[in-house]
Structure 1
């Protein structure tokens, strides 16, 4: 009994001596294979079943290994793909090259250990003298990041039991491998008795990075001033281009929704986090904006201008300018209504497709609107200011300016200005005075005082249902005067050339006769058009009313005219049934 115990101790010591020799051999091979990687520890005992990757090397120098113990490296150096290739750029790939280094190191150690087991089985015998049966031994390697596990099964020896599926699953459970177990591999190893090979037995689930939400702006959040240059390189500092106009239904910005990231899982069931979570972005939807049905476009609900404040785009149909129109704002051209709290300085322009409301005064500027124009003070145009509206114009005073409105013109005073209204000119509030200039109304002119005691200053009042006819009549009259002058000169030349009868001037004579014929035709056309306008003028209706009429005042109603050089009170000026202009009493 005592001899048998001594024999077993001797065999155990011999086994551990061989194992230490295998350890040194494996370390030598690892240093040759991966000199930059960390050394790996051998198993502490033959019953461990798992290879630990975090152990330092022995300080003792290894002896020269037995050539018969060298592992076969052909199988261990072939790279093995763990996860299927994918074109998805969001998949968070694990560095499989590093995992392959771990696998190869594991393969070399296990091959060496397997050889030692086989040698040891031949030398260690039971008391009966027969070799001791050895069951198949599965060894497991879990990668440092716990994303993969490999198994190596040392074959059964001396008729020992083969590996079973239960053995493999028991080892996996013992080492807490829960996720990504390759069942087909487990079954194949047990069924086909696959030994002395490193096989992937479990792999984790790869994480998939998300995409952070993003926004592509089509309008500036902070408007930068941009100056325009002409062909000569001169800069127009009045056109600042600092208003961002937008149409109803126009896209303000494009939104790319966030794609949430998907965490992976290690083989131990722990979360393997993605690096990009896919953070949603706040949609900058403000006043008068809406998202498209798919949530990818921010669209303007109204026509106006775009601004960005408090993290949101907003659309305002009304453009508010708190201050003056001057060098700080530049010219304004806006698709909508404009409100100006201050003045409009000399030389600037304001244009709108809607109305314009100015709470200050206007100097020699250009104001144009498709809607009404309202000026709290008035316009002192210095001979260059203009107001143009497709609706009405209303202000306190109009001085030395040009005004054209398709609707009424309202003022408290009009001085030395050219006013044209498609309807009425009303100057009855306040002083209600018209002095100098020319006023044309499609219907009526109504004022408190018309004219001035300064007799050299003439005030012209025109009633024309079709103001364009008045302009056309004046233009055609001027053209007719020029035509008569040209025709007279041509006839003189024709008479001279016909009298001298020079053959060399025959071509010139023919050209002059051609020109004379054209002018005669044009003269007839002009006369026909003037007669047509005159026939409409005979139907002209309208009144001029005032409480006091001061000379000198020239009145035109259609083709009729009257020069008033005497003062009148409570007067009504109209065209009677005979087509004559008459001054009546109100």
Structure 2
């Protein structure tokens, strides 16, 4: 509540009570009549204005309201009779960006289901010297005036602050952000930056050697068999990835497709988009979007979307964390196709590795036990010299260490298996058909497809995988 100041004045049979806010922004008047009889003299607007002036109320006086109080004999009621001009705060400054700053991928399909890989528009390329952002200054606002007629200064808006990272500088007048290099525009956290791009005009082959780069890489040709690409940023390939070893720190886009083999692998920390995947090992932490997958080992940390003209998954092992969406699963020939959904593929791979390690340690323990027992008997009979004792002690240490390793691995296996038992999410949507020969696992539940099934959804319900036909 605002603090107020009270003033009183008696004029003939009238008592005037003036209440003014302490900041002199508003004034309220109450008129009281001190007699029940009709007064000899009427109160005038000049009387009231004189009273207001005495109390320094000279601005913002509402004369029409005062006159109405007098004419209508408004008594014993407090009415606002003066109001100051409030100052208006200026608008805050802001940053106006000259380019789209969020990377996005737009997959456009024609009527035949073909994806246009030429117009993905998934990043913004800028040149050295380009203006990336402009600082729009704050406005000054508008001043006010209190009831005393004193000026109240305007309050300006706040000035915006540039936040930027590598390869970006402020202009000399501090009003713009300028790119210092050619590259891809990014918004990293809350900072605008330009990521350098390594552009390969042709193929990655003997003419280039292996590529290791700390930013984005664009390959205008193919990545040939046996070569390596390791980039911290995104990788865009306008041709085909053959049986090469690829490590990508962000997203992978292959406008051709991926033709691998058992000795090569592709590891992507972001999403993967390509025309097809054939005989390849692809590990992607984000989504995988493609036209078809044939006889491949796929590990997907989000969703596998097989769309387009074929929309086919056949053969190989497919591990997906969330959901699979495809046209056709398997083939009329009953091709073995293994699909696992629910657990993060990285955890599933850990589980498989732990099981292999456990089997190896248990075999080692089994092989050591006869030798350990023989050594104990020789030691008890005093038939072991010092050299054999040293060798036997080392063997015992190895045995005990193996036992300890088995305990550790079993604990890790139990943790992951517990996660598997608790999984209830995960789904596979098929728009056309599923052929026999497909095995689907969601969490710890498995189901073999024995009969050809039409468009349907597969998910866990009441402790089993159900097939809901669309």
Report the TM-score, using the length of structure 1 for normalisation.
Answer: 0.43
- Superimposed CA distance per residue, residues 250-288 of structure 1 (whole angstroms, 9 cap, x where no aligned partner): xxxxxxxxxxxxxxxxxxxxxxxxxxxxxxxxxxxxxx7
| Contact map agreement 1:379 1:385 (CA 8 A) in 2 | no
Q: Can you list the C-alpha shifts for 1:436-488, whole angstroms capped at 9, x where unaligned?
A: 11111111112111112334x42111124322221121111112222222223
Q: Secondary structure at the match of 1:482?
A: helix
2:361 aligns to what? 483
| Higher percent of residues as strand | 2
Distance 2:394 2:214 in 1: 53
The partner residue of 1:526 within 409, 429, 439 is 409
Q: 1:539 to 1:327 in 2, by over 3 A?
A: same
* Structure 1 residues 504 and 573, CA gap change in structure 2 (3 angstroms): farther
Q: SS at 1:333's partner residue?
A: strand
CA distance in 2, matches of 1:325, 1:497: 59
State which structure, 1 or 2, has the greater radius of gyration over its C-alpha atoms.
Answer: 1
Distance in 1, matches of 2:221 and 2:261, equals 19
CA contact (8 A) 1:385 1:400 kept: no
Structure number with the bigger relative contact order (C-alpha 8 A, sep ≥ 6) is 2
Give runs of aligned pairs for residues 419-568 of structure 1, distance below 5 A.
419-455=298-334, 457-497=335-375, 501-505=380-384, 507=389, 514-540=397-423, 541-546=425-430, 547-568=432-453
Taking the aligned partners of 1:584 and 1:412, their CA distance within structure 2 comes to 24
Deviation at 1:420, TM superposition (A): 1.1
Check whether the contact 1:364–1:385 (CA below 8 A) recurs between aligned residues: yes
> 2:247 aligned with 1:368, yes or no?
yes
Give, in angstroms, the shift of residue 544 of structure 1. 1.8
Q: Find the residue that maps to 1:536 and give its secondary structure.
A: helix
Alpha-carbon separation, structure 2, partners of 1:391 and 1:542 = 20
Give the CA RMSD over aligned residues. 3.4
Number of residue pairs matched by the alignment: 285
Gaps of 5+ in 2: 1-127, 129-166, 173-177, 185-193
Tell me, in whole angstroms, the C-alpha distance in 2 between the residues paired with 1:371 and 1:518.
40
**Greater helix percent: which structure?**
1
Instruction: State TM-score, norm by structure 2.
Output: 0.53
**Does the 8 Å contact 1:391/1:405 carry over to 2?**
yes
Q: How far apart are 1:289 and its partner, in Å?
A: 8.7
Quick check: 2:338–2:439 contact (8 Å CA) kept in 1? yes
User: Given that residues 374 and 393 in structure 1 are in contact (C-alpha distance below 8 angstroms), is that contact kept between their aligned partners in structure 2?
Assistant: yes
Tell me the distance in 2 between the aligned counterparts of 1:388 and 1:509: 45
Whether 2:270 is the aligned partner of 1:386: answer no
- Is the CA contact 1:534–1:558 (under 8 Å) kept in the aligned structure 2? no
Q: What is the match of residue 96 of structure 2?
A: none
Q: Are the counterparts in 2 of residues 320 and 340 from structure 1 also a CA contact under 8 Å?
A: yes
Q: How do 1:94-133 residues align onto structure 2 when only pairs under 5 Å count?
A: none
User: What CA deviation, in whole Å up to 9, does each residue of 1:12-57 have, x standing for no partner?
Assistant: xxxxxxxxxxxxxxxxxxxxxxxxxxxxxxxxxxxxxxxxxxxxxx
Q: What secondary structure does 1:325 align onto?
A: coil
- Aligned position for 1:274: none
The alpha carbon displacement at 1:498 in A equals 5.0
Paired residues for 1:79-478 under 5 Å: 301-302=180-181, 317-455=196-334, 457-478=335-356
* Partner-residue secondary structure (3-state), 1:362: coil
- How has the CA–CA distance of structure 1 residues 376 and 300 changed in structure 2, closer, same or farther, with 3 Å as cutoff? closer
